[in-house]
């Protein structure tokens, strides 16, 4: 039963994390002290409480999904290159996600936001030069946030219906 309440609370927080514990308690059919206690339990599963802004209304015209191929090194050298790349990416606040991955003949992906095409072009040049000793064969998919047709906007509340039965590990 406890896990069911945690999952219900997680769903409600994804929908709107601004609600008070009293409002959340009413939504999931629990007491306010139970919600407060369960929220503390959930904190280790929640990266942060944030918003997803309307990017085009706050100055971003482009979302870029950039794929790259990692160069092969020995284990020690790879560790150094990964750390150097991680540090480079931390200096670019417009990068909202970067990870290793698999597909399209590539094994790294970066998602970034840009004010305009010129800003994006400068970023890609810096990206290609800044981490060229680790990532190569850089290709991007560019999305216009101002004029493109959006079939489904980025919105994590869509996940609520997909979270059915998760195991919250202690």
Helices (H) and strands (E) in the chain, counts: 5, 4
Q: What pLDDT does 1 receive?
A: 47
| pTM for this entry | 0.83
The string over 90-116, giving b where at least 16 C-beta atoms fall within 10 Å of a residue's C-beta and e elsewhere, is eeeeebeebeeeeeeebbbbbbbbbee
Please name every residue paired with 135 in a beta bridge, in sequence order, or none if there are none.
70
Write out pLDDT tens, residues 48-86: 888 889 999 999 999 999 999 988 878 888 888 888 899
Element housing 62 (H / E): strand 62-70
Q: Could you tell me the domains of the chain?
A: 2-51 (1.10.10), 55-144 (3.30.70.920)
- Which residue ranges of the chain lie beneath pLDDT 70? 1, 165-170
Helix (H) / strand (E) containing 158: none
CA distances for 71 relative to 13, 106, 133, 136, 137, angstroms = 41, 11, 7, 7, 10
């Amino acid at each position: 039963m406890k896990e069911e309440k945690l999952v219900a609370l997680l769903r409600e927080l994804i929908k709107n994390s601004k609600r008070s514990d009293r409002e959340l308690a009413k939504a999931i059919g629990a007491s306010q002290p139970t919600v407060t206690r369960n929220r503390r339990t959930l904190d280790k599963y929640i990266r942060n409480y944030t918003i997803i802004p309307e990017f085009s209304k706050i100055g971003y015209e482009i979302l870029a999904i950039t794929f790259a191929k990692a160069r092969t090194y020995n284990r020690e050298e790879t560790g150094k290159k990964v750390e150097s790349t991680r540090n480079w990416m931390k200096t670019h606040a417009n990068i909202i996600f970067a990870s290793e991955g698999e597909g399209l003949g590539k094994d790294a992906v970066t998602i970034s936001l840009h004010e305009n095409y010129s800003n994006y072009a400068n970023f890609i040049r810096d990206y290609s030069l800044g981490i060229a000793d680790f990532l190569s064969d850089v290709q991007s998919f560019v999305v216009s946030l101002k004029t493109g047709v959006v079939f489904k906007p980025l919105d994590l509340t869509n996940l609520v219906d997909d979270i059915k039965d998760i195991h919250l590990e202690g």
